[in-house]
Structure 1
Amino acid sequence: MELVVWPGDHGLPSLDLTSIQLLAYCKFSGAPVKVNQINRSWNVIYRVPSFSHGFNVRLNTFNDVTAYLQRQNYNCDLKLNSKALFDVQAYMSIISQKLEPALSYIYWANDGNYSSFIRPWYAKRIPFPASLILPDRYQSSQLDKLTILIGDKEGWTEKEKSMIEEAEKCLKLLSQKLGEQKYFFGDTPTIFDAYVFGYLALCTIPFPSYNPLKSTINNLPNLPTYLSRIKRSYFPDVQETTEEKPNETENEFPNRWLDITLSSLFAASVMFTYAYLHLRHFTRR
């Protein structure tokens, strides 16, 4: 079994939501999955994250991958009773309705965060010339999902305050549910811990422009402790740092212009070749 994910940064195993969730579930369930991280040498022709098993199984979503692993007897929910399983689904629904829209807005819709952090971060990890196109496609896809969740883009600014408030209420609810437990349903992690770990982890990213959820989590002490416990227990090789990293845009600037130049030369060569072949065909006639 193999899992291809987006790489980690800022003390997290990945900066992609589903990648973090699947990495966590594989760790929690003990699934013997070979993990590969996307970098500029990869040919990104399929969705990431991507789970594969043999030649016939290729899955991408958290629900599909975890369901498949459970059928292979890699299940970390065996100790949960029917009430706990019902609670898992209820809390997942709350997170998708209350926390996900705000996090997606901060991550993809805030111009400052996207232009100076998210876009260059993805571009540095995607091979040229796809690096010039795919980050914006990812953003467009995420904004389409956000439109489904909260309505047309024209009304997002007016909805921003209430959206953040709902997310903060959700974080406080999660803090209350966790209490003094090690994990949300006892002393061992479950599928819900993998699911919520992804959301909480991304809420702590030090975005350069805007991230009110980071301070909310920091004001709920058991949530940072919970995140640290998972990272320490299951991702000890992920470097933990609180040091502010240089602006990605500054590091990317020379490479960005190089990519643009090479892209222009590539496009020009294609146009020249097409014109030459077209002219040659015309003169032969």
Structure 2
Amino acid sequence: MSLATDMFVCQMAAAEPWPENATLYQPLKGEQILLSDNASCLAVQAFLRMCNLPVQVVCRANAEYMSPSGKAPFIHVGNHVVSELGPIVQFAKAKGHSLSDGLDEIQKAEMKAYTELVNNMLLTAELYVQWCDDSTSAKITRSRYGSPYPWPLNHILAYQKQWEVRRKMKAIGWGGKSLKQVLEDVDRCCQALSQRLGTQPYFFTKQPTELDALVFGHLFTILTTQLTDDALCEKVKNYENLIKFCRRIEQQYFEEHDQESVLSSVSRCSRGSSTK
């Protein structure tokens, strides 16, 4: 879209209040959704809850194909359909809902840098583990991704997705990396996040920002997702302040809303129990 079209859409969005029947679409929670999509969906849910914006979560087997960007999640708000955290943040901001308006320009630039770090490191690592680690892709990823579809379509779609992700990894220079190198990248990212967070409750102020929603979505999902081994989870568990950060957001924004809290999953993982 052109800049003029983007401005028009933002103006139209701003003119309409946030409806009570806003809907967030994501892949099937139990049997289909993968680590990276689950992290992205949780980050969007966290952001909307931090903004106190109501949304109904709807799971669809074809959510990826329904999304205007081809990526989950996406929201349907009034006459608008918006996908992925960044555009959803901008859409909410156009309606007067922002978590970072109180930051100065230096803080906003720093928040942007850490946002790019998370997307470039954690999200990419999640995709790598899912589709480029042979053990994980064979034992978990392909069967989950194709689970809603009949044979042979389930295999065709899974192998097509794997080919797309591996091609992307080669394009960004990750194709030749080993799993050990990817896990080292994750550790460096967690170390940078841990140092920035320090003893603060959130990354910049006493209140959460969009970065807190993004980091929570990825770290919490890594801590609570069952994989072939605990190697990825172990990298996050090395940083106690990040564990406490995840507990804090889960308690404040999810535990009171959800009938069944997953806080215990983080506690078990932080104590070193197996996710197998």
**TM-score interval w.r.t. the shorter chain?**
0.7 to 0.9
The question of whether the paired residues in 1 share the 8 Å contact of 2:230 and 2:274 is answered with no
Please tell me the residue identity of whatever aligns with 2:39. Answer: L
Q: Secondary structure at the match of 2:44?
A: helix
1:22-51 CA-partner distances (Å, limit 9, x unpaired):
111111112222221235xx6874133222
Point out the structure with max Rg over C-alpha: 1
Q: Tell me how far 1:212 sits from its aligned partner.
A: 2.4
Contact 2:227–2:275 under 8 Å retained in 1: no
The alpha-carbon distance between structure 1 residues 87 and 61, as it changes in their structure 2 partners (threshold 3 A), is same
Alignment of 1:244-263 (within 5 A): none
Equivalences for residues 65-104 of structure 1 within 5 A: 65-104=88-127
Q: How far apart are residue 223 of structure 1 and its match?
A: 1.0
1:46 alignment counterpart = 66
For 2:78 and 2:24, the matched residues in 1 are separated by 12
> What is the CA–CA distance in structure 2 between the aligned matches of 1:95 and 1:144, rounded to whole Å?
21
Deviation at 1:206, TM superposition (A): 4.7
**2:27, 2:60 within 8 Å by CA — same for their partners in 1?**
yes
Question: Once the 2 structures are TM-superposed, how far is the Cα of residue 5 of structure 1 from its aligned partner?
Answer: 1.6
Q: What is the deviation of 1:67?
A: 0.7
Query: What's the C-alpha RMSD, in Å, of the aligned pairs?
Result: 3.0
Aligned residues: 237
User: Residue in 1 aligned with 2:184?
Assistant: 165
Pair 1:37-2:37 in alignment: no
Whether 2:209 is the aligned partner of 1:190: answer yes
Deviation at 1:127, TM superposition (A): 4.8
Q: Which runs of 5+ in 1 are unaligned?
A: 247-285
Residue type matched to 1:198 in 2?
G
* Other structure's SS at 2:57 match: strand
Shift of 1:88: 0.4
Q: Residues 201 and 145 from structure 1, CA distance in 2 versus in 1: closer, same or farther, beyond 3 angstroms?
A: farther
Instruction: For CA contacts below 8 A with separation 6 or more, give which structure has more relative contact order.
Output: 1
**2:187 aligned partner, one-letter code:** E
Determine the structure 1 residue equivalent to 2:129.
106
Identical-pair percentage? 22
- Please point out which of 188, 191, 197 is paired with 1:178: 197
Indicate how the Cα distance of structure 1 residues 88 and 27 shifts in structure 2: closer, same or farther if over 3 A, else same.
same
Unpaired stretches in structure 2, ≥5 consecutive residues: 1-21
SS in 2 for 1:59: strand
> How far apart are 1:222 and its partner, in Å?
1.0
2:6 — aligned with what? Answer: none
1:210 Cα deviation from its structure 2 partner: 4.2
CA contact under 8 A between 2:63 and 2:73: conserved in structure 1? no
Change (3 A) 1:215 1:105: same
In structure 2, the residue corresponding to 1:51 is in which secondary structure?
A: strand
Residues 100-157 of structure 1, C-alpha deviation per residue, up to 9 Å, x if partnerless?
Answer: 3333221221122122222333344x35466444444443333333222225x3x233
Closer, same or farther in 2 for the Cα pair 1:35/1:98, shift >3 Å? closer
The equivalent residue for 1:225 is 244
Superposition TM-score, scaled by structure 1 size: 0.71
Q: Which amino acid aligns with 2:82?
A: L
Partner of 2:26: 5
The alpha carbon displacement at 1:209 in A equals: 2.6
The code of the aligned residue for 1:46 comes to: M
Matches within 5 A, 1:126-165: 126-128=148-150, 131-151=154-174, 153=175, 155-157=176-178, 160-165=179-184
Q: Which moved more, 1:62-71 or 1:229-238?
A: 229-238
The list of structure 1 runs, each at least 4 consecutive aligned residues, that deviate by more than 6 angstroms after superposition, is: 243-246
